[in-house]
Structure 1
Amino acid sequence: MLQYAESSPFDPFIGLLYGVGESLYVNSVLWFFTCLFCTTILFYWVSKLKDRRVILFVLILLGLLGPLIHHHMNVRLPWNLELSFVAIVFYGLGYVVSKSEASRLSSFSKLRYLGIVVLCGILLLTVKFNGRVNMNKMQLGNLALFYSGAFSGIGVSILLSSIVPRNIFFEWLSRNTIVIFPLHMLIFSAFTGIGVTVFRIDYSFNENLMFSVLYTIGAFAVCYPTSYILSNHFPWIVGQRTTLPMRALQNEQNE
């Protein structure tokens, strides 16, 4: 709270233009979107190479170059440009794998469970030896452990998602992540502000497990109508060209 009181009214706008880490203190999760923007633009040019082996080589090179830039310059580039060199490794490898036979491995039930166990083991080991990682602050630790842990975690998520049966909640969650992600921190802050100013509860109440669960439920409750309004009336805000009813009609026509 003190940070807001001592800052200039122009700081949030400057932070949006800079688009990096702590400069986005009003809504820190926005770093992901500036990084994603740079990553997408960067991969657009990398994908022009066509040859997958060359693409993989460039991805590895960029994945090493990004942390080196940060280490030697000791300054953050606008819109997380150096971080996008790290992010493009995951972005690009996802593209390469989706075009290969490896993308079908998750369909083999026996391999899925074995893969989850093995990858969880690797993930736990990398967490133990590499410690806390924060991409927003370019705190990656040992690069070999960082990438090993990251890919292990991604693999576990993919394999688990292939086991979970289709259901309404997860489908809604996957379609509305673009709305939930930037809003949830603002909603949490609003809940905390209401608790402190209206109900006179100590600021530390939000560290309680029960309140954490209530925060999450409350965030979903707020995000649901917000997502509905954006998707149906302002689809361009969340990167959609048509409203949900129109897209549903188009899908029916295509079928």
Structure 2
Amino acid sequence: MRVGLFIPCYINQLYPQVGIATLEVLEKLGVDVYYPSGQTCCGQPLGNSGYEEDAKGACQVFVENFKEYDYIVGPSGSCIYHVKKHFDIIEQTPDVINVRNNAFELCEFIVKILGITDLGASFPYKVGLHKSCHGLRGLHLGSCSERMDAHYSTEEDLLAHVQGLELMSLTRKDECCGFGGTFAVFEEAISVKMGKDRIQDHLNNDVEVITGADHSCLMHLEGLINRNKQPIRVMHIAEILNSSI
């Protein structure tokens, strides 16, 4: 299996440690990982803002960079969702179809494709899991509280096997953080209030570290935490799965 590592632009620019952790986790699992150096933004910001026509070039570049790999894996549920669901705006060639079908968020790839839940990690902290909307309701990485389905969560499956980690129960465990890409720009006040509510839920339940599979949501929460000097940290789930504390 040859895996193309997709590192979203905001992670590449602002959170390189998340990209490194993702690579190291995959390598620990024996995956043959390649990083196409010509990769750029997947086009999600343009799509979020209603400029899908202008996003077509970015979509085509993405396909050209990743078409030769068996799987495309990235540490961002929202970006992977965009590739899988919104690349329908370009011609559906065999390469495009292949890329869309074989793009996976990191946790989903580890659990569903590799069939692994125990990575031998250790992280002795009280952790709160933020379930992003794209991952939860778009990629179906877990069950939603508004549905009567049996409970499941790929992220929880992985965190449950991290030695020393205590996964804390939240009051509103799958509520939106308010980021929503450009929503945070156009509806700043609502976005901030939603983010503060999510952080307070974690604080109320003695969480020491907030984690998740979509660092755009975590970026939003981290900004509010830092601005308000609150006693809680934010880490991408790849960093925890790569940890040996």
Structure in which a larger fraction of residues adopt strand: 2
Select the structure of larger CA radius of gyration. Answer: 1
TM-score exceeds 0.5: no
TM-score, length-scaled by structure 2: 0.26
Structure in which a larger fraction of residues adopt helix: 1
Greater relative contact order, per chain length (Cα 8 Å cut-off, separation 6+): 2
